[in-house]
Amino acid sequence: MQESTAAVRAVVWTNEELQLLDQRALPQLVNYLSYREVDAVATAIREMVVRGAPAIGIAAAYGIVLAARARYAQSPEDWKSAIEADLRTLAEARPTAVNLFWAIERLRGVLAGIEGDPEPVLLAEARRIHEQDIAANHRMGELGAALIERPCAILTHCNAGALATGGYGTALGVVRAGFASGRITEVYADETRPWLQGARLTAWEMVQEGIPVTLQAEGAAAHLMKQGRIEWVIVGSDRIAANGDVANKIGTYGLAVLAHHHGVKFMVVAPSSTVDMTIASGDDIPIEQRSPDEVLTLAGQRIAAEGAGAWNPAFDVTPAALVDAIVTERGVVLKPDPNKMRDMMS
């Protein structure tokens, strides 16, 4: 077994700067990039140096620390109004993962009451967000694994692991806990076109941890389920609406429809910072459209016929009716509906 990735950190604060593990280079290269300016952090979020809803929120929180340092040095009197432009820049980086806006609002609430140098106070809050996310993932790992009644293989989509979070992972946190307790025997991972989070990131995490992982093209999922090879689909989320509708990586909705048809259970694992109670249903969740180039090319090489266009929505919405369980650190909601979601969040 190689070194464990349970402790891998996608986001690190060290030597008074933010370091992000460049997920565009994985698994070939483990390379941390350094950030001292908030604009560069926003660009890193947009360009997927850091990705995955909770990790984006944590990176933004540290980005606000950098912004506050610069604005306070420029003008100790006006930094609170000047930093608003930086918060807007961060908020515009990606639209779907609500953890980004959640983290910005949490730090905005803290900065309002600061007198004097803001950096120590905001850094303490960013670190708290980071540590709370890791703790939430461990709790969700236990809660989610406990739902699995007998040893089985599972299917996951995208990467909802240590790399997508503060550490340990949401869906892959359940996999880690479930594998340790013997409930999960094996992981099937969708390669997750076009960005290949499954092939490049989930497979990397699982291999390093000694958890058996088998990659498949997304198109293989129906056949896998028809053969009775898995009992659960386990995924993360970028935003959960007040009625339990779930936005996640494009392709998740299709998996939920397939799971329903084949009698496979469908589990969504996400911290409460991913739940957006201001949005009544998934219809109101903004879906990011990314560049057609991500579909038309592979590793920088054009693979599609010249002249073809491409449609590249990065996320889709799975209706609550197709979800068997939403697992948060606050508890488990079975067969989600607006009342159960409200009870869990209140």
Q: For this structure, is 117 an active site residue?
A: no
Nearest to 316 by CA among 237, 216, 200: 237
Tell how strand 17-21 and strand 11-14 pair up. antiparallel
* Cβ closest to ligand MRU, residue 153 vs residue 287: 287
* Choice between 45 and 65, CB closer to ligand MRU: 45
CA nearest neighbour of 247 among 102, 96, 133: 96
Q: Pick the catalytic residue: 238, 245, 316, 324?
A: 238
Distance CA 173, CA 329 (A): 12
| Dist. CA 139–CA 168, nearest whole Å | 11
Q: Min. distance of Cβ 70 from ligand MRU in angstroms?
A: 26
CA nearest to 85, candidates 95, 97, 71, 73: 71
Binding positions for ligand MRU, rule: CB under 6 A: 51-54, 97, 158, 160, 164-165, 170, 197, 236-238, 248-249, 314
Yes or no: say if 201 and 260 are a contact pair by the CB < 8 Å rule: no
Give least dist CB 16 to ligand MRU, A: 27
Rounded to a whole number of angstroms, the minimum distance from the CB of residue 68 to ligand MRU is 25
Nearest to 90 by CA among 126, 124, 127: 126
**Which of these, 2, 119, 93, lies nearest to 40 by C-alpha position?**
93
* CB of residue 216 to ligand MRU, shortest distance in Å: 17
Which residue number has the CB closest to ligand MRU?
A: 236
The CB-of-150 to ligand MRU minimum distance in angstroms stands at: 26
Structure tokens belonging to residue 69: 């340092």
Cβ closer to ligand MRU: 243 or 328?
328
Sequence-ordered list of residues with C-beta below 8 angstroms from that of 41, at least 6 positions apart, any chain? 18, 35, 59, 60, 62, 63, 66, 90
Residue in the structure block whose two tokens are 């992981």: 187
Phi, psi of 19 (to 5 degrees): -120, 135
Within the chain, strands assigned E span 11-14, 17-21, 32-35, 152-156, 184-190, 213-216, 232-235, 239-241, 246-249, 265-269, 275-276, 297-298, 301-302, 315-318, 325-328, 331-334
Closest CB to ligand MRU among 160 and 279?
160
199/334 Cα distance (integer angstroms): 30
CB of 224 to ligand MRU, least distance (A): 19
Distances (CA, A) of 293 to 159, 194, 290, 304: 21, 9, 8, 10
- Of 164 and 224, the one with the shorter C-beta distance to ligand MRU is 164
Nearer to ligand MRU, 164 or 259 (CB): 164
Closer CB to ligand MRU, 118 or 271, in the complex: 271
Closest contact distance (angstroms) between CB of 199 and ligand MRU is 13
3-state secondary structure of 287: coil
Residues belonging to the active site: 238
